[in-house]
Amino acid sequence: MTRNKVEICGVDTAKLPVLNNTEMRELFHSLQQDHVRSAREKLVNGNLRLVLSVIQRFNNRGEYVDDLFQVGCIGLMKAIDNFDLSQNVKFSTYAVPMIIGEIRRYLRDNNPIRVSRSLRDIAYKALQMRDSLTNRNSREPTVSEIAEALGIPKEDVVFALDAIQDPVSLFEPIYHDGGDPIYVMDQIGDERNKDVSWIEEIALREAMQRLNRREKMILSMRFFEGKTQMEVADEIGISQAQVSRLEKSAIVQMQKHVKS
């Protein structure tokens, strides 16, 4: 059977080793307790597949895969150096957010839409303060609390955090269970263009077709032209009371048709 060879940064991804949980714990123990340097290298090589799985999320950014892979490896090494073995957490659970964060920082810094240095500084200080307040109060702080702790206006914090947000493609997959993927656009509602509104409009048009000419004219003048009952009465030559009665009767007929 022929094996497809895929190289990234000169690494044959098909030959990457995979470590089980026992091997991972033994290597972390050797690194953290016995300070065995080779353990770190083995941990990096044994988790490169994790980096590969993460960078797939950024394939639609137009960046070179080699560049993303290298940046992801930096995030992996930071995760290895800071992982606390005493915590009952899988390494992948801890490492993936760090790898993603490193890649996002790289994409931000290389974004053609440049964000000023001062704005980035405010945003990074706000993020650090948010983490600090979260650890201190065991809850997510509000923007006002972050701004007060930094001694700057709340609006500046909001503007700075918005400026460093990465744009997300509407076609970025957010879930995949082996079948058709669910994209970001599938989770976004559009109040201006809903199937329900479209169907209701068709039903209303069909209901209006069942009215007589005078009833159609009254509803059109009242609800599409915005005229008062008195104005309608003057225009078609009947009393306001008659306009009111015909209007109510027409609406009842339309409601019966739409509900049927």
Q: What is residue 90's predicted lDDT score, i.e. its pLDDT?
A: 83
Q: What is residue 151's predicted lDDT score, i.e. its pLDDT?
A: 93
Cα distance between residue 136 and residue 149, in whole Å: 13
* Rounded-to-10 torsion of CA 156, 161, 163, 167: -160
Is the pTM here over 0.85, yes or no?
Answer: no
Cα distance between residue 184 and residue 201, in whole Å: 28
Mean pLDDT by 10 residues, the chain (260 residues): 48 71 85 83 88 80 79 90 83 86 80 66 87 86 90 86 63 53 52 49 71 88 84 87 88 73
Q: What is residue 150's predicted lDDT score, i.e. its pLDDT?
A: 93
CA terminus-to-terminus distance, the chain:
63
- The domains found in the chain, sorted by start residue, are 1-111 (1.20.120.1810), 112-165 (1.10.10.10), 195-259 (1.10.10.10)
